[in-house]
């Protein structure tokens, strides 16, 4: 026994010291002592019953909804940069573009004169005034609810222009009312009939969170514009992603990225479904599309290639969810599904093919000659009950299995209680429920088959009233559900929360989301912080736990799991996670057997996620209202008594002294 171990200390001493810890970290309300539950949590840490959790166990799910991509993690600042959002028929709506000046000094309309064949709409601007105002007249774009322009930072402007006569344009970054000029550059457009590409760098001399990009002229004449882009120069790894939001993802240590949906994959109608071919190649040539499920336009700057790149950048395995010829309102008959199958085979060649292959060469031209390691694909999204799904599924399954036998194929049909009637490596399981229901589902996979396809819990969350805009209550139920997935990780391969991002400025939101942002800020909901406590579970070793009542206590309101894991310095820890779903404090005896190492109390900690009100939420004004609080344990051992706060999620990390102890990951 090491000198820092507390094994053998009197149980009363352990309880006293941990009680002090609880009070210091606000995890115990003084009024809760008389009504605490009396419960025993047994942890069997012996290697005999230990089991390795899949390395890919926990990840993130990105869907283009809530402007999580366009106006979110994709850092493009111009909304409707190609003037395509109004449709191909001209004249068309150019929202959110507006004019600088009035209709007596400027006339703007769309026409079909673009130099890009896949997105033919361009904007024609005619300056009518001979004696124009001092600041000129023109057009401006407010971006996605304003552009965040920061002092000293550089912004890369790219746009295509043409004019029959020599014209001088001024491109500026200004405040939303145009009165504050943050940066500007003059551009001379030579009088030619051909389109020219303009590239400039603007360096801001001030900060404004709701800025706009404006293009003005003082000279009478006509100018055409197309594909006007403004990107911050400092995106993550130079790949176009917003740094702060990527940082939030990295802190979760996701093992996979499921993309791009969700309903976004299906579309309300197939004509509006995400099509990967239309989302690759030079950004200027991408036609974009209207995501009719979530009712907004995206230029598809964040396309199939960028999703693969993001997966690589955050060290996550890509999970490509593709359309099976099925939308909410129309379906392709299995008899004519072959072109859709070919489209997906081409997408896999794009990701995995050699530089000499047809589609692999396109990927290489985009700057990524090395193949992307796509090992998982989901055949559709929530389509199991649709008329043609199973027929279409088998066409995709057989074609992909033949061409790429190593790819794990995911079915939309639930196999948790009834065996699937078709071949699959993994099956989808989605659940959105109130908090009480999701908490009660912690044992959902206890009796699921241990052979055959495993589950991918690819969408889970508390929603509606219990969720608010991201409540402590929601996170507790989700944590309890995850403890059950950990314990059943021989039947559950992967899991991820949904949705991931939401722009706080949009009027119609899906609540809750994991990460909330606006043009310049972001914060994690309690569900985000809950997931951070689970981030070491992937590849860890799970141990059996049992909860029993005694002395009038109840175990029904508790959920727990235990793992051993190693940090970056190869230090081993036994992590015991406990959710108290009740409004009373819970007094718990944690009894651990089978440890092959003593506990180093000086490196042992407890992390508590709780708040004064179970419906508390985080916000921009108080982003840390509900966040985990980490404290060093005063004492810790194989037998210890702890008091859990009402409505709390507590994680005890018991440091294991160096010994012959090894996790299954070492074997």
Weakest-pLDDT range from 255-264, 310-319, 650-659: 650-659
pLDDT value at residue 6: 31
The span from the CA of 531 to the CA of 371, in Å, is 30
Which residues are bridge partners to 260 per DSSP?
none
Q: Which of 305, 317, 362, 297 is nearest to 144 (CA)?
A: 297
Tens of pLDDT along 147-175?
A: 999 999 999 999 999 999 999 999 999 99
Residue 500, token pair as written in the block:
């991931």
The β-bridge relationship of strands 639-644 and 192-203 is: unpaired
Domains in the chain, ordered, with CATH?
38-50+544-655 (2.60.40.1180), 59-74+236-534 (3.20.20.80), 98-232 (2.60.120.260)
* Averaged pLDDT for residues 317-333: 97
Other Cβ atoms within 10 Å of 659 Cβ, number = 12
* Averaged pLDDT for residues 110-137: 95
Burial of 95 (0-12, 13-18, 19+ CB in 10 A): exposed
Q: Which of 492, 495, 488, 473 is nearest to 443 (CA)?
A: 488
Q: Which residue has the tokens 């395509």?
A: 84
Contact 663, 565 (CB under 8 A): yes
Q: Which of 35, 209, 173 is nearest to 582 (CA)?
A: 35
* Averaged pLDDT for residues 338-346: 98
Largest CA distance in the chain: 93
Tens of pLDDT along 1-58?
A: 333 333 332 332 333 333 334 433 334 333 334 445 579 999 999 999 999 999 999 9
Q: How many Cα atoms occupy the beta-carbon half-sphere of 57 within 13 Å?
A: 25
Other Cβ atoms within 10 Å of 9 Cβ, number = 16
Q: CA separation (Å) from 413 to 166, 397, 398, 401, 431?
A: 62, 14, 17, 18, 13
Q: What is the DSSP string of 298-311?
A: E--SS-HHHHHHHH
The span from the CA of 200 to the CA of 168, in Å, is 15
Burial of 130 (0-12, 13-18, 19+ CB in 10 A): exposed
Burial of 419 (0-12, 13-18, 19+ CB in 10 A): exposed
Tens of pLDDT along 583-629?
A: 999 999 999 999 988 999 999 999 999 999 999 999 999 999 999 99
pLDDT value at residue 634: 81
pLDDT value at residue 15: 34
pLDDT value at residue 24: 36
Phi, psi (degrees; rounded to nearest 5) at 264: -60, -30
The span from the CA of 392 to the CA of 395, in Å, is 5
pLDDT value at residue 37: 58
Q: Which residue has the tokens 């651990």?
A: 592
What percent of the chain shows pLDDT beyond 70?
93
pLDDT value at residue 12: 28
Q: Which residue has the tokens 């290639």?
A: 305
pLDDT value at residue 359: 98
Other Cβ atoms within 10 Å of 385 Cβ, number = 9
Q: What is the DSSP string of 42-67?
A: EEE--GGG-EEPPTT-B-EE--S-TT
Phi, psi (degrees; rounded to nearest 5) at 532: -60, -35
* Averaged pLDDT for residues 96-117: 96
Band (452; pLDDT cuts 50, 70, 90): very high
DSSP state of 645: P
pLDDT value at residue 192: 80
Residue 10, token pair as written in the block:
């009197």
Torsion of CA 57, 63, 67, 68, to 10 degrees: 20
The span from the CA of 256 to the CA of 236, in Å, is 18
Find all residues with CB under 8 Å of 362, minimum gap 6, and list them: 280, 281, 350
Q: Which of 552, 452, 470, 451 is nearest to 512 (CA)?
A: 470
The span from the CA of 28 to the CA of 43, in Å, is 23
The span from the CA of 279 to the CA of 358, in Å, is 17
Q: CA separation (Å) from 617 to 362, 472, 610?
A: 46, 7, 11
Q: Which of 358, 348, 324, 352 is nearest to 338 (CA)?
A: 324
Q: CA separation (Å) from 202 to 28, 80, 184, 646?
A: 54, 20, 7, 53
pTM of the model: 0.92
* Averaged pLDDT for residues 211-238: 97
pLDDT value at residue 36: 53
Band (526; pLDDT cuts 50, 70, 90): very high
pLDDT value at residue 555: 80
Q: Which stretches within 235-357 are classed as H helix?
A: 243-252, 263-266, 304-313, 338-352
Find all residues with CB under 8 Å of 468, minimum gap 6, and list them: 474, 511, 512, 615, 617
The span from the CA of 109 to the CA of 250, in Å, is 44
Tens of pLDDT along 537-555?
A: 999 999 999 999 865 557 8
pLDDT value at residue 523: 98
pLDDT value at residue 30: 35
pLDDT value at residue 522: 98
Tens of pLDDT along 562-580?
A: 999 999 999 999 999 999 9
């Amino acid at each position: 026994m090491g000198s820092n171990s507390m094994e053998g200390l009197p149980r009363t001493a352990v309880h006293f010291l941990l009680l002090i810890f609880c009070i210091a970290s606000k995890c115990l309300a003084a009024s809760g002592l008389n009504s605490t539950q009396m419960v025993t949590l047994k942890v069997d840490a012996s290697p005999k019953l230990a089991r390795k959790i899949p390395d890919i166990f926990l990840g993130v799910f990105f869907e283009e909804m809530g402007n999580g991509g366009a106006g979110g993690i994709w850092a493009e600042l111009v909304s409707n940069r190609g003037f395509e959002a109004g449709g191909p028929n001209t004249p068309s709506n150019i929202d959110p573009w507006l004019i600088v000046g009035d209709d007596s000094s400027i006339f703007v309309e769309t026409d079909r004169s673009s130099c890009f064949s896949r997105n033919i709409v361009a904007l024609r601007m005619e300056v009518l005034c001979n004696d124009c105002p001092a600041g000129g007249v023109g057009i401006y774009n407010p971006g996605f609810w304003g552009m965040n322009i920061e002092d000293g930072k550089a912004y890369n402007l790219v746009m295509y222009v043409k004019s029959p006569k020599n014209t001088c344009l001024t491109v500026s970054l200004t405040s939303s009312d145009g009165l504050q000029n943050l940066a500007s550059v003059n551009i001379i457009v030579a009088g030619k009939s051909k389109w020219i590409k303009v590239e400039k760098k603007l360096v801001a001399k001030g900060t404004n969170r709701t800025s706009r990009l404006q293009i003005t002229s003082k000279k009478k004449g006509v100018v055409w514009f197309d594909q006007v882009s403004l990107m911050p120069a400092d995106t993550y790894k130079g790949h176009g992603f917003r740094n702060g939001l990527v940082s939030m993802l990295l802190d979760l240590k996701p093992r996979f990225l499921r993309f791009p949906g969700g309903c976004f994959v299906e579309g309300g109608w197939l004509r509006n479904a995400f099509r990967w071919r239309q989302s690759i190649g030079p950004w200027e040539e991408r036609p974009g599309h209207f995501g009719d499920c979530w009712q907004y336009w995206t230029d598809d700057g964040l396309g199939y290639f960028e999703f693969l790149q993001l997966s690589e950048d955050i060290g996550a395995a890509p999970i490509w969810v593709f359309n099976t010829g099925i939308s909410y309102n129309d379906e392709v008959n299995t008899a004519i599904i072959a072109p859709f199958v070919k489209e997906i085979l081409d997408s896999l060649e794009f990701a995995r093919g050699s530089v000499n292959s047809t589609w692999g060469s396109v990927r290489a031209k985009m700057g990524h000659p090395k193949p992307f390691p796509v090992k998982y694909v989901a055949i559709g999204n929530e389509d199991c009950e649709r008329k043609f799904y199973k027929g279409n599924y088998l066409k995709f399954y057989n074609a992909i299995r033949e061409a790429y036998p190593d790819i794990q194929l995911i079915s939309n049909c639930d196999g948790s209680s009834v065996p699937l009637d078709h071949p699959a490596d993994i099956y989808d399981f989605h659940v959105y429920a109130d908090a009480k229901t999701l908490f009660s589902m912690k044992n959902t996979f206890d009796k699921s088959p241990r052979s055959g396809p495993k589950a991918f819990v690819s969408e889970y969350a508390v929603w509606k009233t219990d969720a608010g805009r991201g409540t402590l209550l929601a996170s507790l139920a989700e944590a309890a559900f995850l403890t059950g997935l950990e314990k059943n990780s021989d039947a559950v391969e992967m899991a991820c929360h949904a949705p991931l991002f939401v722009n706080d400025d949009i009027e119609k939101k899906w609540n809750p989301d994991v990460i909330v942002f606006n043009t310049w800020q972001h914060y994690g909901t309690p569900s985000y912080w809950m997931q951070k406590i689970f981030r070491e579970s992937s590849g860890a070793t799970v141990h059996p736990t049992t909860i029993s009542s005694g002395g009038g206590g109840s175990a029904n309101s508790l959920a727990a799991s235990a793992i051993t894991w190693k940090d970056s310095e190869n230090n081993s820890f036994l992590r015991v996670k406990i959710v108290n779903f009740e409004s009373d404090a819970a007094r718990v005896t944690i009894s651990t057997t089978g440890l092959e190492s003593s506990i180093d109390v000086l490196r042992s900690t407890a992390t508590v996620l709780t708040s004064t009100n179970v419906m508390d939420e985080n916000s921009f004004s108080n982003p840390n209202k509900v966040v985990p609080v980490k404290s060093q344990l005063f004492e810790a051992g194989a037998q210890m008594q702890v008091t859990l706060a009402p409505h709390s999620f507590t994680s005890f990390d018991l440091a294991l002294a160096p010994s012959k102890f090894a996790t299954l990951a070492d074997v």
